[in-house]
Amino acid sequence: MLHNLVEVLKELGPWGLFIHSFIDAVIFPIPAFVLQVSLSILDPSAAIWLATVGYIACLLGTPFGYMIGKFAGDKFLNKILKKSWVDSATNMFQKNGEMAILVGSFTPIPFKVFTILSGFLHFPLWRLIAYAAIGRAVKFYAVGILFYLYGRAAAHMAKDVSLYIFLAAIPLLALVIWFKRRKDKKQKENETDSSNA
């Protein structure tokens, strides 16, 4: 039934991708990546436009996923999402929320897990949207640029795009984490010095 719905959305072209990307950030179990690739194969020259449509819709859907997590909470997570997804995402959040969202934007774990979990764990909405804007841009535009440059030949490359992005992003994410921890440490030291003064 879900695959039939994706086929219906495919018939709608960019509007179908808009709808798919929006509900992908909220509740839909099939990633918008699937439809983005299908539509990009049909018209590689429109791949950047499709990436833009998907990206904007995803960001618009993100607050709705957040609200589901905030108000429906644990019961909703365990009913509609795989326990392994929830456990993995929760572990990421406990270590570093910002990095969890950035990494989650282009891992195989559906992005809705991170939008819903952000609400459930009371992660600030503005920070969710800010980090989602970065991570989802990388995912959507990496696929769009591949198809725009290589045409239909990019179909084989697109399957592994999440892996390539993840591997390329590891050093950058490690650097961001290091700077953040260093900044937090200095801030705590300054607060301690102020309280002792």
For the chain, domain boundaries: 2-196
pLDDT digits (tens, 9 = 90+) for 115-159: 888 888 888 888 888 888 888 888 888 889 889 988 887 787 776
Instruction: Give the pLDDT confidence score for residue 41 in this predicted structure.
Output: 92
| 60 HSE (CA, 13 A, CB side) | 12
Distance CA 83, CA 4 (A): 26
Kindly state the average pLDDT of the residues 66-88: 74
Instruction: Give the pLDDT confidence score for residue 114 in this predicted structure.
Output: 80
Instruction: Give the pLDDT confidence score for residue 168 in this predicted structure.
Output: 58
Q: Which residue has the higher pLDDT, 168 or 72?
A: 72
Residue 129's closest CA among 142, 141, 119? 119
Distance CA 161, CA 107 (A): 10
Q: Is 87's pLDDT higher than 80?
A: no
Distance CA 112, CA 181 (A): 27
Q: Which residue has the higher pLDDT, 28 or 129?
A: 129
Collapsing DSSP states into helix, strand and coil, what is residue 106?
A: coil
Instruction: Give the pLDDT confidence score for residue 194 in this predicted structure.
Output: 65
Kindly state the average pLDDT of the residues 86-108: 69
Q: How many CB atoms lie within 10 A of CB 96?
A: 16
Distance CA 118, CA 127 (A): 10
Q: Is 5's pLDDT higher than 60?
A: yes
pLDDT digits (tens, 9 = 90+) for 88-98: 767 767 666 67
Instruction: Report the phi/psi class of residue 109: left, alpha or beta, with left for phi > 0 and alpha for psi in -120 to 50.
Output: beta
